[in-house]
Structure 1
Amino acid sequence: MEIKEQNRDERSVVQGNKLIVSTSNAMKTNQLKILYFLISCIQREDELFFPIEVDYHTLLTFIDYDTNKGGKKAYLTELLEDMANKSYYVYTQDRITVYPWFGVIQIDRNLAAGRVVFKFNEDLSKYLLQQTRNFTQYQYGFICSMSSTHAIKLYNLLRSFAFCGSAEFTLTKIRQTMNFLNPKSGNDKYKDYKSLSKYVLAEATKKINDNTDISVRYEPMKSPEDRRKVVGVRFYIKRNCDAVPTSLPRISTTLIEDEGFDRPVRRVTLQDED
C-alpha cells in the first residue's frame, strides 16, 4: 500500500518551546541540518511518529557536502552513526535528564540505491507533534543557509523569543544550550564573557542577521554586586518579515508499508522537475 501525500512548497520546522529552551543539543552542523529537515517532514495532522525514509542523494542535497567529491558512503555512515549516539539533555534545578533523539536509525550499506530510515524517540512526541500552544515555527530554508553550528543553535533558541523582542540568559545557560558545558566530563568551553563573545556570539549573530528572518544584537549583563563581572547576555531580537528563506529543492512524501516497522513509513524523495 502506498499513499501519496500532498506536496508542500514550504518546509516548516515546528517545535514546542520547552524543547528549545530547556535542552542542550550536541550535534554538529550537518547533523543539525538533517535533524531539522526531518522535523520539517512531520505533518501537522500526524498523531504519532512515522519513521522517515530518506535516500542518500536527498540527504546530501540538504547538507554541506560537495557531491562531486568521493567518500560519500564513508562520510554519511560516520555522520549518521555518530548522530545515532547523540542525546539531548533536559536541565532542571534538581537534575539533568538524558534522552536519545532517535529510537532507530537504519542505514543501508548500498550507496547507489541506499536509504536511511529515522524514527524519532517517542518521548519527543509532546514537543514535535500537533503543537497548538507555546511553540515556535520557522522555515527550514533559514537553517539550511547557515554553515555554522553556533549560528544554527543560537538562531533556534532566539527565534523562540522573537515575539518578546528580547531575551536574557546567564552565561551558564548559554553554554548549556550551545553544549559548551559538558554534563559528563564537566569540561566547560568559553567560561568568560570575552571569549564567548569573540569566538561564538559575534560570528553567530552576524550569520543570523545575514541569513534569517530575525535581526539580533546583544550586550553583557553585569552583576549588581560587582559591575566588573559579567553574569549573562541580553539579546535584542527583531523580526525581519521581508526575509526570504533559501530556495530548496521540492520534495515528495509517500506513506508506504515496511515489514520492519509497526506503522507506515514516510518516504521522502526529491520531486522531479516539471
Structure 2
Amino acid sequence: MSMNSEQLSLLETSTVSSEYIVSQSTELISTPQDLSANEKKIIFTLASLVQPEDENFRTHRIRVKDLADMMGIVSSNFCKKVEETVTELQKKTVVIQSDKSKLVVNWLSSSEYFRGKGFVELEFSEKLRPYLLDLKRNYTGFKLTNVLSLQRAYSVRIYELLKSFEKLKKRSFSIEELRELLVVPPNAYKYYANLKSKVINKAKKDLEEKTDIKFEIEEIKKGKKVVGVTFYIERNDTFFSEVLLNGKAEETAYAAIIRMGIRPNVAKLLTEEYSEEYIKDNISYVLHQKNVDHIENLSGYIVKAINEDFVTTKQTKPKKNNRKDTLPK
C-alpha cells in the first residue's frame, strides 16, 4: 500500500553499512534460492537492517546509491541497474517446506522506487518473519562485508550454506542435493567435473580471497562415480585478522564499534556512556590478544570489554557518566 506524502515525510532514510550483521534462520538458508548475486545482496542488506528489538518488519527507505555501492555497481547508469534488479527481485519467490506445510512466498511484500528522489523503499513479506526476525536459536549471522565482494551467485550461496555449518566444521552433500540448493539448471554442468571446476573450485577461490571462511573438499564415490562432496570448513584467519585490524586512525569510536559487528543501537549507548579514547583502547586491547581469531562471539566479548574496562590500568577517566546499569551486557 502506497504512503501519502505526510506518511512519506516521516520515514527516515536507513543507514546501511558493510559492517552490519546479517542474521537468517538455518531453515531459510537450507532452502533452494534462485537469486542472482545482486538480488542476494539486496536481501542481505535489508536483513542487516532488522534490529533485535523489532517486533515487525519495517519499510526501509534506502538510498539508491547505497544499494549500488553494496552491489558493486560503478557505472553512470547505476540508478537504472538498481531499479531493474529491484523489479526482478520483486517477482522472485522462495519455497519453504516442512512436515506441516509448503510455503510459497515472495521475498518482498513491496518495493517502491522513487524516480528523481534517489531512494527506494523495501519491505520483507510478513510470512518470512519467523526466518529473519527475533531469531533466538538455529540461525546464522555474518558480516555483510563477507558477501559484497562475491560476484558469482553460486559463491554467495556456497558461502551462506557453509557458514551455517562453520561450528560443525564440515557438511556433506549429495551431488543432487548440492545442485538443488544452488538451483543449477538441469542442463548446466551435467558432469561432475564441470560442476567442480566451474562452481565448486571458483567458490573455493572466492571464499578464500574475500570472506572469513575457507574450505577443502573430499569427494564421496560410489565405484568410480562421484556421488557427493564433503566440505571441510575452517575460519579464514588471514582475512579475519585483516578485516578486524583495518581501522584508520581517524575512525570514530562509533565506526570502530560498528566494524566489530555490534548493532547500531548498542553502539549508540556505548558512545553515549564512554569516551572515544576509552572505547578505542578497549577494542584495541581485545584485537591484539593472541587468541583473538578464536573468540567465538567477538562482538559480545568487545561489549563486555568496554563495559568492564579490560584496560583499567591504562585509563584514568574512562567514563562520561555513571549510567553503566543502562548498558547491554
State the TM-score bracket (shorter-chain normalisation).
Answer: 0.7 to 0.9
Letter in 1 for 2:156: I
Shift of residue 53, structure 1, vs aligned partner: 0.9
Give the secondary-structure state (helix, strand or coil) at the position aligned to 2:157.
Answer: helix
Confirm or deny that 1:170 pairs with 2:174.
yes
Structure 1 position 7, deviation (Å): 9.5
Q: Is the 8 A contact 2:13 2:60 kept in 1?
A: no
Matched, 1:229 2:225: yes
Shift of 1:215: 1.6
Distance 1:91 1:174, change over 3 A: farther
* Structure with larger Rg: 2
* Residue number in structure 2 paired with 1:107: 113
Match 2:70 to one of 44, 62, 66: 62
Residue 3 of structure 1 deviates from its aligned partner by 8.1
Distance 1:180 1:70 in 2: 32
Contact 1:37 1:140 in 2 (8 A): yes
Matched, 1:129 2:133: yes
Against the structure 1 CA distance between its residues 236 and 90, is the aligned structure 2 distance closer, same or farther, given a 3 Å change threshold?
same
Report the AA paired with residue 72 of structure 1: F
Name the counterpart of 1:240. Answer: 236
* Larger RCO (alpha carbons 8 Å, 6+ apart): 1
- Cα distance change on mapping 1:130 and 1:241 into 2, 3 Å: farther
Q: 2:207 — aligned with what?
A: 208
- Structure 1 residue 161: deviation in Å? 0.3
2:26 to 17, 32, 36: 17
TM-score by length of 2: 0.66
1:191 aligns with 2:190: yes
What is residue 304 of structure 2 aligned with on the other side? none
Name the TM-score, length of structure 1 as normaliser.
Answer: 0.78
CA distance in 2, matches of 1:190, 1:53: 40
Cα separation, 2, equivalents of 1:240 and 1:199: 22
Deviation of the 1:149 alpha carbon? 1.4
Q: Aligned partners of 1:5 and 1:172: how far apart in 2?
A: 40
Q: 1:179 to 1:47 in 2, by over 3 A?
A: same
Q: Percent identity?
A: 27
**What is the deviation of 1:92?**
6.0
Q: How large is the RMSD of aligned CA atoms in angstroms?
A: 3.1
Aligned residue runs from structure 1 range 145-184, under 5 A: 145-181=149-185
Alignment length (residue pairs): 241
**Greater share of strand residues, 1 or 2?**
1
One-letter amino acid matched to 1:14: S
Q: Which runs of 5+ in 1 are unaligned?
A: 182-186, 255-274
Contact 2:150 2:210 in 1 (8 A): yes
| Bigger helix fraction | 2
CA distance in 2, matches of 1:179, 1:143: 18
**Alpha-carbon deviation of 1:234?**
0.6
The alignment status of 1:76 with 2:82, answered yes or no, reads yes
Amino acid aligned to 2:51? Q
CA contact (8 A) 1:7 1:253 kept: no
Q: Distance in 1 between matches of 2:11 and 2:115?
A: 25
Cα distance, 1:219 vs structure 2:
2.1
* Structure 1 residues 196 and 93: CA distance shift in structure 2, 3 A: farther
